[in-house]
Amino acid sequence: MLRITDARTGEPVDAAPARRGLTRVEAHTQGFDPANLRVLLVADLLVRALELGGTPVWALLTGERQRAELRAAGEALGARPFEDGRDAGTGLGEAQVLHVAGEGTETPEGPCLAVAPVHWEAPGPPDATDPAVLRLTLLAHPRRASVTVGTAALDEARDTLGRWRRAVADWASRPSRPVPDPVRAGLRTAWEDDLDTAGVLRVLRAVETDPDLPDGARFETFAYADRLLGLDLTRDLGSPA
């Protein structure tokens, strides 16, 4: 069961309603900058995690400033489409409403995931950076920890992403094997604990180097985890070596 820490109370709450029903996820943004782009990314992760658990989701984007720029950057970053929150009306009888917002942002009633700021030190603006590399850079940190995005962090993410995509393409040519139960449990334990994507990445690094795992199981593990991470790790399947 996915649990998140409510910024209002500091206590963990169930992200999925007790009765299986529609959950509304609202991303509250205040313009287009790295911090608000991270808010949209965390909202996207929340939507993905809920859907993986079988919860139907209605995703909305609120905020009046630079919405078009934020939507375009979010789409490039791999975020799912979010409907316009201004047209939400009274809702669709959803069982629960969850909010995602930057630290200190006021939101309507309901559990809220607070997202720590991003300090941009890389040359050039965020939209000049490879979106998948930026996504991995942000995923490497818990959402409640501030992130400094500089050249070194982006280079490390770029190297990791390239290595993983090449490895996944290679593993795909081996006989398929299921995701080992302990590995699957480790992945779900991580992302169901307040969207701990850093924990998910640690599991993948262990799978990458475990000498006892068949390559087919590595492939299925990375493909499974990417349903949450959204890094397009299978992009190079079928490409020339």
How many domains in the chain?
A: 2
| 85 and 135 together in one domain | no
Residue 237 lies in a domain: no
- For residue range 181-205, list pLDDT tens digits in order: 999 999 999 999 999 999 999 999 9
Domain span including residue 27: 3-115
Domain assignment of residue 90, yes or no: yes
Burial of 87 (0-12, 13-18, 19+ CB in 10 A): exposed
Angstrom distances, CA of residue 97 to CA of 56, 91, 100, 193: 12, 10, 10, 19
Q: Tell which residue, 97, 94, 92, 93, has the closest CA to residue 110.
A: 97
Q: Which H helix or E strand runs over 47?
A: helix 34-52
Looking at 115, 147, 170, which one is the last position of a domain? 115
The model carries a pTM of 0.93
Give 104-156 pLDDT, tens digit per residue: 898 888 899 999 999 999 998 888 899 999 999 999 999 999 999 999 999 99
Q: Select from 28, 82, 77 the least CA-distant residue to 59.
A: 82
